[in-house]
Amino acid sequence: MSRPTDVVAVDLGGTTIKAARFDAQGVAEETLRLATPSSEGPEAVVAAVVRAAADLVSPSTAAVGLCAPGLIDAAAGVVRFAANLGLRETPLAAAVADRVRLPVTLEHDVRAACLAEQRLGLGGDVRDLLVVVLGTGVAAGIVCNGQLVGGAQGFAGEFGHIPVHAGGEPCTCGQHGCVEAYASGGALVRRYRRTGGIANNAADVAARRDTDPEAARLWAEGADALGRALVTTTVLLDPQRIVLAGGMAAAGDALAEPVRHTLQNGLAWRSAPAVDISPLGADAGLLGAALRAAEAAGARVFLRSTC
Amino acid sequence: MSRPTDVVAVDLGGTTIKAARFDAQGVAEETLRLATPSSEGPEAVVAAVVRAAADLVSPSTAAVGLCAPGLIDAAAGVVRFAANLGLRETPLAAAVADRVRLPVTLEHDVRAACLAEQRLGLGGDVRDLLVVVLGTGVAAGIVCNGQLVGGAQGFAGEFGHIPVHAGGEPCTCGQHGCVEAYASGGALVRRYRRTGGIANNAADVAARRDTDPEAARLWAEGADALGRALVTTTVLLDPQRIVLAGGMAAAGDALAEPVRHTLQNGLAWRSAPAVDISPLGADAGLLGAALRAAEAAGARVFLRSTC
């Protein structure tokens, strides 16, 4: 039997399942992407995750790390509830372990991304860190005193539902004026289409900022809402560093600059923490899941910094 | 030499210095109150704290615990900055230790109150707790994963400066619409006087709720602002329990009921954490300082639960 030297990670997303086998240096040896079969029911989703993991496991794989959105019970390896995936009380880690016969971990996707940022990205040695993942929705990974914050029920980090405008835009959560109703990719596209604009995704809106005043206005309102929610988070938690991650972060300084401006304006009495774009890109969740798997493999596999 | 069996605590406040010697059961054997001589300069303030501690130390005192507002470096025992007290880079713990020749601890007053709530009040065994101290200003003690959250620069817990109304009431911090500009005792009195009402303190405004519609309106706006800031804190941190403490909490259900209402209304998609009035009253900070002193005294003194 060969010595375990790699881990497999699977990031179960609302639209895509991403998986990779990482060697001990954190380099992806093999990757796999497939559409999440959400419309075929929860059994199909679980089967797709099991297949993705099994396809990548090699004779030298030490452990498998999974991550998923929703309400995650990491200790039990169970997805308690994930609306977009139709999962409820789903023992996802056990389903994969039954097939691959290896230790299998499960982590919340945003907390996995935060873990990756802390260990492999910009968060190195930072004991108080905020990682905001801006995608279809908006959520945050919070590190206080060097530890990921899960909250009493595992609901911590619902940054997207910080109210920033009393009685403002309706949000998918049922409230009004949440930061997610302005700053998420989904909101940006919805609001742009409402002005008569044509966009498939947030990148389309971002690309039209210089030529379409409506695109410029909506982008600015999104960045402003994000900055306001960061003011709130900063007064509460005093993070040393704020990292912007997820698909929207691909906009780089076009996002970070106006966010920094709103944040510093809202903190008259203190300096603002640094705001940076994640260097890990959309793979942060996958890397975090791999880190959890490496932990489960004990001292046999380490993932090294990729930055 | 007698065996150490008690601790002395001193709570340095903006208007009052409170001190007490607590026996091992947490019962105050002797107490002392004096006006804080803020107008006489920082040396006078430090001298008053030293005198209060020295007056209460007995031959069986094991350690002294101090707490103070502002930016506190607990590890160094230094008040880095406390605007209301005129202190800057003040080695308060060392000043007291030089006189009493005992171990001396220093903690942030709101974090001390939070610690007392966790150990002696309603927070027992709660790993994710929020204690909001409502006095002249508003601040919060935050416990995540069982640990007090200090933040990168010791600025965490500035709950009073969560913005709840964009472009709202001016706040002493230089911003507009902070929760403190509506829900603090200071704001309530200021706003009530502006309507032509006469009030010396927040209790006067609270007492007129049933007879003066303006008092009722301002009280409701304060509770609503507090509830809104708690929505934000809950989505970020998912506390198991929220405790309202400080002078304003003496209003009991007249405060807690409307706050619970706003909080649950703002959390359409999840249940709200429990909101309760602190049983420790205005002495929570003092008790927390005593707990820190008991820790410093090692296994020789324990403070037991008082609830």
What are the Cα distances from residue B196, in Å, to A231, B168, B186, B209, B245?
34, 21, 16, 15, 29
Count of helices and strands (H, E) across chain A: 9, 13
The per-residue pLDDT for A298 is 78
Is residue A234 within 8 A of residue A281, CB to CB? The reply is: no
What does the pLDDT look like over B72-101, one tens digit per residue? 889 999 998 887 788 999 999 999 999 999
The per-residue pLDDT for A44 is 97
Is residue B141 within 8 A of residue B127, CB to CB? The reply is: no
Residue B214 has pLDDT above 80, yes or no: yes
pTM above 0.80, yes or no: yes
Average pLDDT over residues A289-296: 93
What is the ipTM, given to two decimal places? Answer: 0.85
| Interchain proximity B233–A231, CB inside 8 Å | no
Q: Where are the alpha helices (DSSP H) in A73-164?
A: 92-100, 109-120
Q: Does any CB of chain B come closer than 8 Å to the CB of residue A286?
A: no
| Interchain proximity B149–A175, CB inside 8 Å | no
φ and ψ at residue A83, rounded to 5 degrees:
-55, -50
Q: Where are the alpha helices (DSSP H) in A19-67?
A: 42-56
Q: Where are the alpha helices (DSSP H) in B41-149?
A: 42-56, 92-100, 109-120
Q: Does any CB of chain A come closer than 8 Å to the CB of residue B83?
A: no
What does the pLDDT look like over A119-142, one tens digit per residue? 888 877 789 999 999 987 899 999
CB-nearest partner of B149 from A140, A144, A154: A144
What does the pLDDT look like over A232-248, one tens digit per residue? 999 999 999 999 998 88
The per-residue pLDDT for B301 is 58
| Interchain proximity B162–A268, CB inside 8 Å | no
- Tell me the chain A residues in contact with residue B144 when contact means C-beta distances shorter than 8 Å: 142, 144-145, 147, 149, 156
Distance between B164 CA and the closest CA of chain A, angstroms: 7
For residue A243, give every residue at least 6 positions away whose Cβ sits within 8 Å of its Cβ, in sequence order, or none: A117, A121, A122, A123, A129, A130, A131, A132, A275, A276, A277, A278
Q: Which two tokens stand for residue B60?
A: 């069986």
Cα A286 from chain centroid (whole Å): 9
Q: Give the highest mean pLDDT range of A45-59, B130-144, B148-162, B186-200.
A: A45-59
Average pLDDT over residues A207-230: 96
- Average predicted confidence (pLDDT) for chain A: 91
High-pLDDT (> 90) share of chain B, %: 69
Question: Angle B253-265/B213-237 helices, nearest 10 degrees?
Answer: 50
Q: Does any CB of chain A come closer than 8 Å to the CB of residue B171?
A: no
Residue A54 has pLDDT above 70, yes or no: yes
* One-letter amino acid for residue B180 of the chain: E
Average pLDDT over residues B40-55: 97
Name which of A144, A149, A175 to mutate to probe chain B: the one with the most chain B Cβ atoms within 10 A of its Cβ. A144
The per-residue pLDDT for B45 is 97
Report which secondary-structure segment, H or E, holds B6: strand B6-12
Q: Does any CB of chain B come closer than 8 Å to the CB of residue A250?
A: no
The per-residue pLDDT for B15 is 83
State the burial class of residue B7 (Cβ atoms within 10 Å of its Cβ: 0-12, 13-18, 19+): buried
The per-residue pLDDT for A304 is 57
The per-residue pLDDT for A70 is 85
Residue A255 has pLDDT above 50, yes or no: yes
Q: Of A95-99, B38-42, B97-101, where does mean pLDDT reach its minimum?
A: B38-42
The confidence band for B306, taking pLDDT boundaries of 50, 70 and 90, is very low
- Tell me the chain B residues in contact with residue A74 when contact means C-beta distances shorter than 8 Å: none
Distance between A74 CA and the closest CA of chain B, angstroms: 15
Residue A153 has pLDDT above 70, yes or no: yes
What are the Cα distances from residue A203, in Å, to A186, A244, B7?
11, 16, 62
| Interchain proximity B151–A237, CB inside 8 Å | yes
Residue A25 has pLDDT above 90, yes or no: no
Residue A269 has pLDDT above 80, yes or no: no
Is residue B89 within 8 A of residue B78, CB to CB? The reply is: yes
CA-based nearest residue in chain A for residue B264: A175
The per-residue pLDDT for A268 is 77
| Interchain proximity B163–A266, CB inside 8 Å | yes
Q: Where are the alpha helices (DSSP H) in B57-170?
A: 92-100, 109-120
Average pLDDT over residues A198-213: 91
The confidence band for A275, taking pLDDT boundaries of 50, 70 and 90, is very high
The per-residue pLDDT for A135 is 83
CA-based nearest residue in chain A for residue B267: A175
Residues 129-148 of A with CB under 8 A from B: 140, 142, 144-145, 147
Average pLDDT over residues A253-260: 96
The per-residue pLDDT for A307 is 35
